[in-house]
Structure 1
């Protein structure tokens, strides 16, 4: 994965400007060439649901962001148009890690895939997978 410092700076600015991403404390570990890795530290007081697992909305945020940010690494400004999330196991751990990649890019949209892992005591456990359609954002007027 070749990192593009300018692209990484733009994405970090997007995170800072997006209240939910900033609240989650999203960090990008690696970005470039249609792939991304991001993580958040689990904040139980904000992120847990009533069974003590990380809430599905947080897992969904990680999957959606991994898909969109992987797409952005090759297509620039994008928005998610649809995603399918499969929750595979309870998300229990100190951190969540998501890895996203572009499966196919066309002139207007990208098909992407993400895996979300809970990290507990240094071990990764796959807790969710997602498949997303991501649309390139055009000039004036949006998509």
Structure 2
């Protein structure tokens, strides 16, 4: 399998409904909850690409472009954007979908760096 095929196969998509238990007093998704979900998607995408144990070492930049209201559906999409010797960069975008319309907007985008590790928690080479 080529690197491009591995990258395509590692793309990860998760849908979530935004319920009241995950919103703040403005009835929008907590920023920390969004970051948690993004890190989870980045972890899954990095694991699917490398098939190794990975840990997050940084969130390089997260842009909150639009508030995510309660009562909507969000789609998180994680894509490998860089492969290093022991690390991967994963871009994660969150899209808002209205439940009862075709409206869809990009709300948040961020990049996460994950490192592959061995059982002793030392960095290991990523193949591919």
- TM-score clears 0.5: yes
Q: Specify the structure having the higher radius of gyration (Cα).
A: 2
Tell me whether 1:104 sits opposite 2:82 in the alignment.
Answer: yes
Structure 2: state its 5+ residue gaps. 1-7, 123-128
Structure with the higher fraction of residues in helix conformation: 1
Aligned residues: 111
Match of 2:32 among 43, 57, 64: 57
Of the three residues 73, 82, 87, the one matched with 2:64 is 87
Instruction: For residue 89 of structure 1, give the secondary structure of its aligned residue in structure 2.
Output: coil
Query: Which one scores higher on RCO, CA 8 angstroms, separation ≥ 6?
Result: 2
Q: Normalised by the size of structure 2, how large is the TM-score? A: 0.78
**CA displacement, residues 15-57 of structure 1 (integer Å, 9 cap, x when unaligned):** xxxxxxxxxxxxxxxxx6221001212121x101111101111
RMSD: 1.8
With normalisation by structure 1, the TM-score equals 0.70
Give the SS at the match of 1:97. Answer: strand
Structure 1: where are the runs of 5+ without partners? 1-31
**Kept in 2: contact 1:103–1:112 (CA 8 A):** yes
